[in-house]
Amino acid sequence: MSDAAPASTTGMFASLSNREYALLWWSGLVAFLAVGMQILARGWLAIQLTDSNSSFALVLLAFGIGMVTVTPFGGVAADRFPRRALIVGSHVSLSLSALWLGIMVVLGLEQFWMLLLTALIQGSSFAFMGPARIAMTGEVVERELLSNAISLTQLTVASSQTVGPALAGVLADTPGFGLAGVYLLSAGLTALGTIPVLMLPKSRPQQREANSPFEEIAAGVSYVARQPYLRVVVISTALMLLVAMPYMAFLPKFTESVFGVGALWLGILQGANALGGTVTALQVARMRDNSLLWRLRVFSLATVAVGVGVLAVTPNHLVALPVLFFLGGAATTFQTANMSMSLILAEPVYHGRVQSLVMIAFSAQSLVAFPLGALADQIGLREMHGYMAAATVLVVVWSVIAGRSARRQTEAARGRAQAASGSS
């Protein structure tokens, strides 16, 4: 943990009184805003270059491939190398790739392959930045404030998904600014977000053995497999992200084909989902009792299952508005609780690799969207959401049963340790 003075344990923004975490948080706030702006810019530029609806899916696929393939090595790097340096390097890569594409648009030289390449580069950059940023949070924040710090981190992510695309949309339609300006501004904001990170003290690597990256990846997976509670947290997170969260990928088609409304309402519905995550992150930030995290994650996962099921039978976009608000809140709560628990349960030397396992599932959403989308075309969007809700219910049931089994295993291990201590 940090050598900084202990932060106050009261208040919604308690962990921000920790100077090191505050610098990390402000850095993330600016960087995630830049990322949110590029969500809209990528899609709009892809349509302009190809006049094809499937082109944006290819851009998402390139981003996802970058994250899925590189994330395991990002987790190893977060445990082997100084985390501050990894975050700075990721920011530089994100900024330069956005700057390059912005200059190409200014010169009128942009091509679709450039968009795919920058998406691949940025997905790979996130694969290093994500595990390092979360692991560094566990490094600088006191244990009792971890859930507060993770909630505030999720707040920056959720709010950027609302503000970033909206700001980019306004700027892209502004004469003299356009998409080139959006990319150049995004590059500048990402570079600006590097400054607070540079003000942090140099972090020390946790892992000192010079094993190969593949051996360290295997060691991280083996470590999670040996920890009953941690194993349940990681697996349930991956399952939820793969079977429930694709509802966001289906939302554009759902809005157009099922609700029969246009892009304006798509933005409003996406905003409601992100706003729900923002509001919930603020509420979870108030929680101080880490023992409640396990119940909170099960309750929020069940709420996600209900939300996806309700969305399947929602009659119109007006009813979908509050459904998506609560669904976004439940999804954010589940992810916040699980990220907090993974930091609490895992030894610091494994923080990076544990977070990388969760991030692999997160990035794999863009890969499973293709087969799930093809299935939805065959059986219908409403039916697809119904099956997703049923699958999420199964994840809830498994999570409860596996959690009880983990408790029995932990108690048995504790009993054996006490017996061995007594006999010695």
Same domain, 18 and 120: yes
Residue 184 maps to which CATH number? Answer: 1.20.1250.20
Distance CA 418, CA 196 (A): 46
Same domain, 159 and 41: yes
C-alpha pair distances (Å), 216 with each of 81, 203, 353: 13, 20, 8
Same domain, 248 and 303: yes
Same domain, 273 and 310: yes
Same domain, 254 and 186: no
Domain boundary among 170, 204, 238: 204
| CA nearest neighbour of 283 among 142, 151, 134, 138 | 151
Over the stretch 12-28, which tens digit does the pLDDT of each residue have?
A: 778 888 888 889 889 98
Only one residue has tokens 């691949």, namely 120
Domain boundary among 204, 236, 254: 204
Confirm whether 306 is domain-assigned: yes
Residue 396 maps to which CATH number? Answer: 1.20.1250
Same domain, 58 and 187: yes
Question: Is pTM, for the whole model, over 0.85?
Answer: no
Same domain, 95 and 53: yes
215 pLDDT higher than 50: yes
Confirm whether 409 is domain-assigned: yes
Same domain, 156 and 254: no
| 8 A C-beta contact, residue 107 and residue 43 | no
Confirm whether 341 is domain-assigned: yes
The pLDDT value given to residue 55: 66
Domain tally, the chain: 2
DSSP 206: S
Same domain, 80 and 18: yes
The pLDDT value given to residue 131: 84
Average pLDDT across the chain, whole number = 81
Confirm whether 77 is domain-assigned: yes
The pLDDT value given to residue 3: 43
Same domain, 260 and 297: yes
Same domain, 18 and 115: yes
382 pLDDT higher than 80: yes
Confirm whether 361 is domain-assigned: no
Q: Which of 365-379 are b and which e, b meaning 16 or more Cβ less than 10 Å from the residue's Cβ?
A: bbbbbeebbeebeee
312 pLDDT higher than 60: yes
Domain boundary among 172, 204, 236: 204
Confirm whether 358 is domain-assigned: no
Distance CA 348, CA 141 (A): 12
Q: Which domain holds residue 313?
A: 228-345+380-424
Same domain, 274 and 393: yes
